């Protein structure tokens, strides 16, 4: 075997010990929960911000994923032009989370549910990650019921504007965070993927302006402003950015690990 695409993070040490090369790079990827902002506690931005302050992303990235992901403290993945180095908003701050919940009228927390795929494209270790989030959220009073399904069922329902198993949130990942890939995620109810019901005219306008802007610097500024607003509004629970580990045999040479899932294999050769 010459190549393993996304080896289990728990296996990395043994793979290294056997002589494998482990390559990673920061990706235009986000693992997150889409929160239903149209009803219940998630309709209050303070509750959504509280949940983001409640989670320990660094522990998930380091202890669970063994350095194969970076903590996501904002909506923009760090491998994208929209990433703002000064925009990391959501540190792990349970006290601040409890304070925001109390201000929103939930001093004792509340119960909610999330649908999680058992696997699927770019979803890392979805159930273990969600179990870690469940523990972090429980520590501030948010009790989460985890409902599992397969990836095909989850995205099939989402493509119809539905949440599989009728939960209050969906756990999943997204790549292609550059440019127009943002349009179906945030720009209004015309998108079949609008399951979180988040709407912001300011975000819509900035993304639309960026999509039509030929100047790269101006495009970057608009995307950065749009995702800064998304970060503030917290329609999602921002968790980690994948670093997409690959395990290569010692005889594989020439792979340049990109910052997306698209590989240039013309530089790769196998030999001594």
Tell me, rounded to whole angstroms, the distance of Cα 214 from its chain centroid: 28
pLDDT of residue 201: 87
pTM score = 0.90
Residues paired with residue 34 on neighbouring β-strands, in sequence order = 170, 236
DSSP calls for 51-102 = HHHH--HHHIIIIISTTSEEE--SSS-TTSTT--TT-------HHHHHHHHH
* Residue 24 confidence class, pLDDT cut points 50, 70, 90: confident
For residue 191, pLDDT beyond 80? no
Give the domains, in start order, of the chain with CATH numbers.
15-176+234-247 (3.10.105.10)
Residues paired with residue 171 on neighbouring β-strands, in sequence order = 33
For residue 179, pLDDT beyond 60? no
Least confident of 45-49, 137-141, 207-211, 218-222: 207-211
Q: Cβ distance 232 to 53 under 8 Å?
A: no
* Residue 169 confidence class, pLDDT cut points 50, 70, 90: very high
Tokens of 145: 């019921």
- pLDDT over 90 percentage in the chain: 53
* Residue 81 confidence class, pLDDT cut points 50, 70, 90: confident
pLDDT of residue 36: 95
Least confident of 62-66, 120-124, 165-169, 186-190: 186-190
């Amino acid at each position: 075997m010459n190549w393993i695409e996304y080896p289990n993070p728990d296996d990395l040490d043994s793979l290294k010990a056997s002589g494998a090369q482990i390559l990673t790079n920061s990706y235009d990827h986000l693992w997150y929960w889409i929160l239903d902002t149209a009803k219940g506690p998630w309709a209050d931005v303070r509750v959504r911000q509280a949940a983001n302050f409640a989670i320990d992303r660094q522990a998930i990235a380091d202890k669970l994923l063994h350095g194969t992901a970076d903590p996501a403290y904002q909506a923009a993945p760090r491998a994208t032009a929209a990433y703002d180095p000064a925009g990391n908003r959501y540190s792990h701050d349970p006290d601040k989370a409890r304070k925001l919940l109390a201000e929103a009228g939930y001093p004792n927390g509340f119960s909610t549910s999330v649908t999680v795929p058992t696997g699927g494209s770019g979803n890392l270790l979805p159930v273990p990650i969600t179990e870690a989030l469940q523990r972090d959220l429980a520590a501030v009073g948010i009790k989460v019921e985890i409902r599992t399904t397969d990836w095909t069922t989850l995205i099939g329902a989402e493509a119809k504007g539905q949440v599989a198993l009728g939960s209050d949130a969906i756990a999943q990942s997204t790549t292609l965070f550059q440019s127009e890939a943002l349009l179906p995620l945030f720009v209004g109810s015309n998108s079949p993927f609008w399951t979180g019901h988040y709407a912001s005219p300011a975000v819509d306008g900035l993304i639309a302006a960026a999509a039509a802007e030929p100047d790269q610097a101006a495009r970057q500024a608009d995307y950065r402003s749009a995702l800064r607003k998304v970060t503030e509004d917290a329609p999602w629970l921002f968790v980690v950015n994948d670093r997409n580990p690959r395990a290569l045999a010692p005889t594989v040479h020439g792979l340049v690990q990109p910052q997306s899932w698209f590989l240039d294999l013309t530089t790769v050769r196998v030999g001594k």
